[in-house]
Structure 1
Amino acid sequence: MNRSKSRTGPALTAVAGMVVLAACGGGGGGGGSSQSASDTLTVGFDADAAPTGYDPLTYAQRQSEFFSPLYDSLFVSSPDGGIEGSLVSDFSNNEDDTQTTLTLRDDVTFDDGSPLDAELVKANLDRRSDPDILGYGLLAAGEAAEIVDVAAPDPQTVVITWAQPQATPEANLFDATGMIVGPQGIADPASLQTQPDGSGAYELSESGTTRASQYTLEKNEDYWNDEGWAFDTIVYRIITDQQALANAVNSGQVDIAGQLRGNALTQVENQQSVISIGGTVVGMPITDKTGAYNEAFGSVQARMAIMYAIDRESLVDDLHEGSRPTSQLFPEDAPGFDPALDEEFGYDPDRARELLAEAGYPDGFEMNYTYLGQPDEDVIVVQQQLAEVGITLNLVAASSTDQVFAAVTTDPVIFGPFAVGSQPEGFVAGVLYGGFMNLQGAEEPEIAQPMGQALASTGEEREQALTDLNRAIAENVWFVGMYEDFTHYGYNSEKVAEPSFAGQNNWLLISSVEPA
C-alpha cells in the first residue's frame, strides 16, 4: 500500500454535493474487463458526470474533474494551490479593485473552428442572471462578487466591473466558474443538453458514450496546449456501487477511482495506491434562519442549543474513524480556521437545555428533515442526540428529488458534506449567505461585514477577516459542524503516476495525470 494524505481543504461546493447525492441512486455502471490501453486513461466516478447535460455552468466546482478536458477556463487551479491564467494571458485591477481587465489568448478555437474573443467571454458572463447557472451564483446580482458590467473594447480585452472591490478577481473566475462555452452553445443553450461546445483538449466521442454509464473523450489534435495532456483518450465510467468501484480499480478496469468510502476504501488500500485530501466538513446548515417556517429557528439561542446537543466525539468514534470532530464550517487547513471554536461550541447538553429555556422552549421543539431513499446513519444518531435535550427531529421520506430540493425552502436544516477550499469567503458569499443555504435572504451584519472585508483584502488583513467571519458563522449558528472528513481516490500505480488534487480542492487535476 502506498497511501499519501494531504490535510488540505477542498472547494467542493454544496450545490455540487446535492447534485451528486441526487444522482447516487443505483448499482454499478459501465462494462469492460480488460486493462486500459497505455494511451487511454480510464476514470471511475461514483455518480453520473453529466446528469443534466454538457453545460458546465449548470454544475459547481467539483464537476471540473469531468468538464476540464472539454472546456477551457479563464483561470485554472494549479497543484500547489494557486490559481493561474489559462484562456487569460494577463490581467490587472484598477486602484480600488472594482474593475478587472483581462487579456485573452489569441490562438484558441472552438469545436466549430470559431475563435475565442472578448465578445464571446462577455456573452458567457452575461448569463450570470440565469437562475439555472449554478456556476455563476457568486457573480449574480446582490451577491458578494456581483458583476455589474462586462465590456469588450477589442477582440482580446475584457473589462469586468464589480459591485464591490475584488482584490483577487481570479478566485471568482477559475475552473468550473471560468469555463467558456462556445458560440453555438451560447446561441442555443438547449443544444448543450446533448453535445458540449468547448475549446478544450478533448472532444466527446458519441460512439463511445452512453449517458449515465460511460463517457469517452478523444484528443483534439488542433488544441492550443496539446503538451498539457498525456493521454489520447479519456474514458469516464460511472460506477455508483462502492463495491463495484473498488473491484474496478483493483482489477485494472479503471486506472483511477473516486470517491471511495468504507470497506471499498479498505479493499483498494490493500491492493492499490490511495491518495487522500481533507477539508470536507459534514454538518447542518441552518436554512430557516428567520423562523419563517419553524418559529424556534428565529431564535439564536434555540439554534445554539442544537450546536451544544451534538456529541461529535462519539459520532466520529462510532461511525467515522479517522475523521476529526468539529463545530465550525472552516476545515483545519483553511485560512480562518480557529481551534478555539471547537472547544467553545463543543458538546454540552446541560447548556443546550439552558438555552432552550432562555429561548422560551423549556420542553424543546420539533423540526423536520426531508430525505430521499434511506436516512443517513449520521441523521439517525443526531436525531437521538437531539432527543436527549428535548428537540424532536422528524424524518420525512421524500418521494422524489424535486421534493428534497423543495424542502430546502421549508425545512429548517439540511445535512451534507460541504467544503470551503482555499477561498472560504467565496463559498460563504456564494453558498451560505447568497446561495441555496439562504433562500429566505436572511441578513446578518456580523457575517456580512467580515465576508466583504475578506473579499476586498489580501495578506494578514484577509486572514483576520476570515477568522472573524468563521467566528461570526458559529456565534450566529448559520452552520452546525459535526466532523471533518476526507476524500479518497484509488489509483493503479503501475499505470499512472500519483495524481494531483486541484490545490486545496477535492477534485483531481486530470490535466496533470501522467503515465507511471
Structure 2
Amino acid sequence: MKRLWGLFLAFVMVLGLITGCTNTGNMEPEPTQPDGTETQQPETTPSGIKDPEVEYKDTIVYVTNTDQNVLDGQMNNTNETILRTIYNGLVKLDPETGEMIPDLAESYSVSEDGCVWTFNLRKDVYFHNGKQLTSADVKASYDRLLDKDNPVRYTSTMGIIASCDVIDEFTVTLSTAEPMAAFIPNLLHRANLILDKDYIEKYGTELGLTTESVNGTGPYKLVSWSQGEEMVFEANEKYYAGMPLTNNLIVQVIDNATSRAIALETGECDIADTIAAEDITRFENLEDVKILGFNYIGTHVYQFNCSTEHMSDVRLRQAVVYAVNTEEIVNVLYSSKGETVCTAPLSPGVWGYSDMGEIPYNPDKAKQLMTEAGHPDGFDITICIRTSYDKAQESAEMMVQQLAKVGINASIEIVESAVWSEACTSTYPGEKMSWDMFLTGQAPATCDADGMRRYYTTETAGTNANNYGWYSNERVDELLAAGAKEMDETKRKEIYEEIMHIIWAEDPAGIWINNRLAFFGTTDSVSGFQVDVRKAPDFSKVLIVAD
C-alpha cells in the first residue's frame, strides 16, 4: 500500500521539528490531500490487536546500519536501537506520546528537600532466565554504575546520583547531594537500564559482550549473537507488559543504505532503518513498501578533536567553521527528506534548545583567522567518518572541497565501528583518537540540555570515554554543573543558552550539520511499529501479515 511521501514532507515543513519530547510517534499524512482527495491509508488492524481470521508471521526481520559494541547500557556507546528491547529502566519514554512514564517502578516520589527519590518496584517483573527482579538488582546496578574506583563508561555522566539504598524487597531510593532539576530526565539515559545482580557478579567487565552474559527483563531475550552480522531474539513470555505479539526477532547488520533498501524491496526484511533520501523517493512509487517518518532529537556533527596540533587552536577551529557551508551541504544531501540546517548544538526537540542562528559561510573570515594563527597558506587535517551515518562520505567530500578553497587540505579516513569504539576509550590525547575531526551523531538520551554534560565536561578520569573530542572550557564546565541543578526553569534555560553560544561559535566544539528525522521502511504487511524520539524502536506490538 503506497504512502504519499510528498504529502508527508509538506506536513513536516508546515509543522517544523518538534519543540519538546511530548510530540513523537509516526508522522502519518493528513487524511486529505491539498486538492481535497483522500490519501490512501494502510489496511491493517489496530496496533496490538490480532485478527483471528488473519495469519501472521512469527518472525520480524529488522535490518539496521550498525551492530552494538556491547549489550550493557553502562558501557554501550553505539545507539538506542537494541538495548531497550532487552532491558528496562525505572522509567521510560512512551513511544506513542513521548511522555515519561514508570517502567520497572510502578510509582515514585521525592522527599520534601528534593534529594531522595523513592521508587516502588513492580512485583511482576522477571529476568529472561526466570529470576524475579528485586531491589537487590537495582542496587547492584547502581552500585556498579556509581563506583568511582572502578568506573564504567557513564560513571561520570551519572555522577549527580550520590547513592542507591534498599528500603525493602521492592522499594529503593536514589539520593542526590542537593536538588537536581535534571534528575528524572537523567534516568532515561541507557546507563540506568537495570542489570541482573548475579550476572554483574559473574561476568564483571565481560558483561554484555557475549550471548550468555546478557540477561534482561525486556520484551525480547537474546538467543544468539554473531557480532557484526546478526542477533536472534525470542519473545519474553513473562514480560510484565504482556508477551510480544510476534514470537521471534532477527536483527541483521547491513551498514550500506542501498543494500538495506534492496533487502526491504526484495522482501528479505520486514523493517529497515535509516532510509536514504533517494530511496524514500523511489519507494513512493512502490505498492508494497511504506515509509514511516518519526520525530528525532538527533543531529549530525563534525566534532573537533581539540587535542590535535591544529584543532587545539580556537582560531583554526573557527576558521574551519567559517569555511564550511552547512546550508549547501544540507540543501544537496538532506533537505529533500525534510531535514534542516542546525541552528544550535541541540535539536529543537531537546528541552533547553535556543536558536543560535546559522553561522554564515565566510571564507574571507576563515583566511583572516588562519593568518592570525600563523597559517596563512593553510594546513592539513584528517576527517574520520563511518559510513553507517546517512550520507557520511558525501557530506565529508563536500566539506573537503569547501575547505580546499581557503587552503585547508583535508583528507577523509573511513573507519569501521570497532575502530571507532576503541578510539573512544583513549587514555591520553592522540593515542587512538588521532583525527582532527570526526563525524558523529548526537541525540541526548535524556531529552534535556543536560545531555551536553556528557559530551563537553572536561575529562578528569584520564580517558575520553564520553568527551570524545577532549573539549575543555572552564566556563562551560561551570555552567554545565550549574544547569544540572538549577531549579528555576528560566534561569536554567539562560545557562544552557550561554553554553550553546560558547560551543557553537566562541570556542567551537564542532560543526553541526543537520537536524535529523528518523525514517524507517517497512513492508505493507507491517503494523504496530513504534519509535521514540531517541530512535529506540518498540517491537513488542508489531504484527506482520503472512503472505
| Range into which the TM-score falls when normalised by the shorter chain | 0.7 to 0.9
> TM-score, length-normalised on structure 2?
0.76
- Kindly indicate whether the alpha-carbon contact (under 8 Å) linking 2:62 and 2:269 is maintained by their aligned counterparts in 1: yes
Name the residue aligned to 1:76. Answer: 92
Name the residue aligned to 2:216. Answer: 198
Question: CA distance change for structure 1 residues 319 and 285 in 2, over 3 Å: closer, same or farther?
Answer: same
Question: CA distance change for structure 1 residues 360 and 247 in 2, over 3 Å: closer, same or farther?
Answer: closer
Q: CA RMSD in A?
A: 3.6
Question: CA distance change for structure 1 residues 230 and 505 in 2, over 3 Å: closer, same or farther?
Answer: same
Name the residue aligned to 2:438. Answer: 414
Question: CA distance change for structure 1 residues 239 and 440 in 2, over 3 Å: closer, same or farther?
Answer: closer
C-alpha separation in 2, matches of 1:426 and 1:340? 17
Name the residue aligned to 1:510. Answer: 539
- The structural deviation recorded for 1:429 is 1.0
- Provide the secondary structure at the position in 2 that maps to 1:167: coil
- Kindly indicate whether the alpha-carbon contact (under 8 Å) linking 2:160 and 2:183 is maintained by their aligned counterparts in 1: no
- The structural deviation recorded for 1:120 is 1.4
- The structural deviation recorded for 1:490 is 0.7
Name the residue aligned to 2:495. Answer: 465
C-alpha separation in 1, matches of 2:394 and 2:507? 27
- 1:338 equivalent in alignment to 2:354: yes
- 1:494 equivalent in alignment to 2:525: yes
C-alpha separation in 2, matches of 1:320 and 1:110? 42
- The structural deviation recorded for 1:182 is 1.6
- Kindly indicate whether the alpha-carbon contact (under 8 Å) linking 2:185 and 2:446 is maintained by their aligned counterparts in 1: no
Question: CA distance change for structure 1 residues 326 and 176 in 2, over 3 Å: closer, same or farther?
Answer: closer
- The structural deviation recorded for 1:88 is 1.0
- The structural deviation recorded for 1:82 is 1.9
- Provide the secondary structure at the position in 2 that maps to 1:225: coil
Name the residue aligned to 2:325. Answer: 311
- Provide the secondary structure at the position in 2 that maps to 1:254: coil
- Which blocks of at least 5 consecutive residues in structure 2 are unaligned? 22-53, 460-464
Name the residue aligned to 2:115. Answer: 98
- 1:231 equivalent in alignment to 2:246: yes
Deviations 1:465-512 (A, max 9, x none): 333332232132122212333321012233314x3321x222323335
C-alpha separation in 1, matches of 2:55 and 2:74? 32
Deviations 1:343-374 (A, max 9, x none): xx221112222233344443443333345789
- Kindly indicate whether the alpha-carbon contact (under 8 Å) linking 1:286 and 1:414 is maintained by their aligned counterparts in 2: yes
- Kindly indicate whether the alpha-carbon contact (under 8 Å) linking 2:68 and 2:79 is maintained by their aligned counterparts in 1: no
Q: Percent identity?
A: 19
Q: What code does the residue aligned with 2:245 have?
A: A
C-alpha separation in 2, matches of 1:454 and 1:287? 25
Q: What code does the residue aligned with 1:264 have?
A: D
Question: CA distance change for structure 1 residues 124 and 455 in 2, over 3 Å: closer, same or farther?
Answer: same
C-alpha separation in 1, matches of 2:254 and 2:491? 45
- Provide the secondary structure at the position in 1 that maps to 2:108: strand
C-alpha separation in 2, matches of 1:50 and 1:107? 29
- The structural deviation recorded for 1:259 is 1.7
Question: CA distance change for structure 1 residues 184 and 60 in 2, over 3 Å: closer, same or farther?
Answer: same
Equivalent residues in 2 for 1:294-373 (5 A)? 294=309, 296-322=310-336, 323-326=339-342, 328-342=344-358, 345-370=359-384
Name the residue aligned to 1:176. Answer: 190
Equivalent residues in 2 for 1:101-140 (5 A)? 101-128=118-145, 137-138=153-154, 140=155
- Provide the secondary structure at the position in 2 that maps to 1:356: helix
C-alpha separation in 1, matches of 2:502 and 2:395? 25
C-alpha separation in 1, matches of 2:19 and 2:297? 3
Question: CA distance change for structure 1 residues 380 and 422 in 2, over 3 Å: closer, same or farther?
Answer: same
Name the residue aligned to 1:268. Answer: 283
Deviations 1:400-440 (A, max 9, x none): 82675556644332223322366242421112336533564
Q: What code does the residue aligned with 2:291 have?
A: V
- The structural deviation recorded for 1:447 is 5.5
C-alpha separation in 2, matches of 1:146 and 1:67? 23
- The structural deviation recorded for 1:119 is 1.9
- Kindly indicate whether the alpha-carbon contact (under 8 Å) linking 1:383 and 1:392 is maintained by their aligned counterparts in 2: yes
- The structural deviation recorded for 1:41 is 4.7
* Alignment counterpart, residue 472 of structure 2, candidates 419, 439, 442: 442
How many pairs does the alignment contain? 476
C-alpha separation in 2, matches of 1:152 and 1:384? 58
Name the residue aligned to 2:166. Answer: 152
Q: What code does the residue aligned with 1:281 have?
A: T
C-alpha separation in 1, matches of 2:509 and 2:328? 23
> TM-score, length-normalised on structure 1?
0.80
- The structural deviation recorded for 1:308 is 1.2
* Alignment counterpart, residue 166 of structure 1, candidates 161, 174, 180: 180
Name the residue aligned to 2:38. Answer: none
- Kindly indicate whether the alpha-carbon contact (under 8 Å) linking 1:287 and 1:437 is maintained by their aligned counterparts in 2: no
Name the residue aligned to 2:453. Answer: 429
Equivalent residues in 2 for 1:366-381 (5 A)? 366-370=380-384, 376-381=393-398
Runs of 4+ in 1 over 6 A off after TM superposition: 372-375, 397-400
